[in-house]
Amino acid sequence: MYKETQIVAFLKNAPGQLAALCKVLKEHGINILGMSIQNAEDYVRGLLKSRELTGRRIAPAASYGSIMRDSEDYSVIRFVVERDQTDQAVEVLQKAGYPVETTPVLVITLDNRPGSLGETAEVFAKAGINIDYVYGSVLSGAEKSLFIVHVKEEELDRAASLFGISP
């Protein structure tokens, strides 16, 4: 496990947009290790639904409708690149006109066996650290899997220390 910087970009929700972003990275020799893409509309819908469930609606329904219409044209892409390529990736994507931001995450390499992710999640749970989201993958038959874990930034160092990583 190690701390890393995740890149978050917003793409138009249209054919060819992911291919274009990947081409920019490829032209600069930047390798993507893990990626998650979510339609912004789905993201906003989930956010608004959670606000309704908690009773903390802060805007009129018409405003929420407007936000939904605005978000349906975009996707949120989160990804991690090779450790020494993050700054370069941000720079080339910004120069190419992509809206980009970064957030800290933990990159976890696990044994590829049933229960390894659950055991890791249990370590977080016992420490009272909530996992905001996780994405990852493994090839069938591979020995290791890779997962990217996002926790609140103020919990990142404590979460890393659970696995022997110093701040």
What CATH number should be reported for the domain holding residue 44? 3.30.2130.10
Please check whether residue 14 lies inside any domain of the structure.
Answer: yes
- Whole-prediction pTM value? 0.81
Q: How far apart are CA 111 and CA 140, in angstroms?
A: 12
Number of domains composing the chain: 1
pLDDT of residue 47: 56
Q: What amino acid is encoded at 113 in this protein?
A: R
Q: What is the pLDDT of residues 13-51, one digit of tens each?
A: 889 999 999 999 999 999 999 999 987 666 555 555 655
Helices H, strands E: what count in the chain? 6, 6
Query: Which residue range(s) make up the domain with 87?
Result: 2-161
Q: Which residues pair with 142 in a beta bridge?
A: none
Please check whether residue 112 lies inside any domain of the structure.
Answer: yes
Please check whether residue 129 lies inside any domain of the structure.
Answer: yes
Please check whether residue 166 lies inside any domain of the structure.
Answer: no
Please check whether residue 18 lies inside any domain of the structure.
Answer: yes
Phi, psi of 9 (to 5 degrees): -130, 160
pLDDT of residue 43: 58
Q: Which residues pair with 102 in a beta bridge?
A: 7
pLDDT of residue 123: 96
DSSP 104-166: EEEEEEEESSTTHHHHHHHHHHHTT----EEEEE--TT-SEEEEEEE--GGGHHHHHHTTT--
Q: How far apart are CA 63 and CA 58, in angstroms?
A: 10
**Which residue positions in the chain have pLDDT lower than 50?**
none
**Tokens read off for 150:** 């996002």
Please check whether residue 12 lies inside any domain of the structure.
Answer: yes
